Amino acid sequence: MTGSISRDSLEMFVLDSLAAIIPGWDEMDEAAREAARLALPVQAENAIHDALVERVAVEIGLDPAALDSPHPDRADSDFWDIDEGAQPAVGQERDGAAAAADGDDDGDEMTENFLLRRSQESEARELRRENLGPVGVNRLNALMLLVRGVGEDRFWFNEFLDDKGMGPFITVADYDRKNHDFRERCIAEESADYIAKPWRGVLFNDWARFMLDGRMVYSGLSTLASYLHDAADEAGAERIKFLTPSRFVKGARHGKRKNGCVEFDLVTLADGAEDIEDALSAMHYRLLCETIAADLDRFHAAAMGRTWIVDKTNVRDDDPWVRVVFSDTAAMERVRLRNFVKDARSIEGDAESLEDMARAAAAAHVAKLDALHAALRSGDWSVVDDKIAARAREAFTRAREAEARGAKEIERLF
């Protein structure tokens, strides 16, 4: 890498590992090295990752032998209360007659065993990571940006990408437009009469990591419309909890196995107001969808071409976290991935103005929910459509059935 940059011992370990894996590393310029890194097979990347885990453990004073110990946060929970007798779990042995009846052959069994083994390997790797603790995990992730990241800020999308990875993307707009086009194709394949939507930006807290002022940060990349959506969503959800306090209990099918899956069946109890709670929740979601669609068009027409970098570290435990907000597609087109921080800061807007917009969006959304709640409480169900009203009646009925059954309350969802 660049000789003027000071590297610590673990950073040098990563670079030496890359030099050992990639032929001709020492003769490559930075662009060639980046292309070679991004083309590494997952097995090579995992090998560097696994070696780093132990070295990070030593650096922060942990015994590497303790990395395989059960993590305290992985205590068994009664959330699912799975009915193990209903069907065998993935990878569970079945007798020959049952396998033959299902048409299984050796190829299917080999595939299932391979997938199970890979799942176990992934889980073991994740356990070792978790046992590093927040400080160790952050250090590990920063070091892995030397393998995965691009440009001066080691920028990396922590999202699913195709086999071309980040290589084809020059700007944030390139990444976002590809996601938009992919979604449009998928929807069109499912619905012949679908009317394609123009590209207005689909960033919705897409995860990324990069170096910011000398430290690695986790980040969510958003459009301005989706940032305001999040503010309204959070405020609206809290308002519904206040207006119609509720709790969850297990439904009759919760935790049952069906077709190789486990059913998720929770029932909301709201002290007799389950129909109102359900209708408010449905309208909450509908209003958010309508507002974000209108905002995307509005901000696209305004073409502000602005970004905001909002430090959220103080409201997230242990994680250095920032939100990067793009006013519109024009702003995305001006921010290159390999010059991410510099480009974003060159068009950065005032953070307080962004928060003013977020507070206004939240207040407007809550006011709509309050008006709906007042109408529903007075018995005026004309404020919602027939579909929402029918589902609300069903929620009320399910609640009464759950109470009669003595359903067990869920203390926590996660």
Q: What is the pLDDT of residue 96?
A: 38
Measured CA angle at 235 (ends 233, 236), to 5 deg: 65
Which residue, among 248, 246, 251, has the nearest Cα to 270 in the 3D structure? 246
Task: Out of 97-101, 139-143, 403-407, give the one with best mean pLDDT.
Answer: 139-143
Residue pair 180/202 in contact (Cβ under 8 Å)? The answer is yes
CA atoms of 122 and 74, how far apart (whole Å): 15
| pTM, rounded to two decimals | 0.84
* CA dist., res. 339 & res. 153, Å (int): 7
Tokens of 281: 């929740």
Mean pLDDT of 159-182: 86
**Token pair recorded at residue 398:** 């399910």
Higher pLDDT, 1 or 289: 289
pLDDT digit string, tens, across residues 301-357 = 999 999 999 998 865 567 899 999 999 999 999 999 999 999 999 999 999 999 999
Residue 307's φ and ψ, nearest 5 degrees, are -125, 160
pLDDT, greater one: 3 or 412: 412
d(C-alpha 224, C-alpha 354), whole Å: 9
Rounded CA separation 326/308 (Å):
7
Instruction: Give the pLDDT of residue 107.
Output: 52
In this structure, the dihedral spanned by the alpha carbons of residues 389, 393, 394 and 397, taken in order and rounded to 10 degrees, is 170
Contact 320, 216 (CB under 8 A): yes
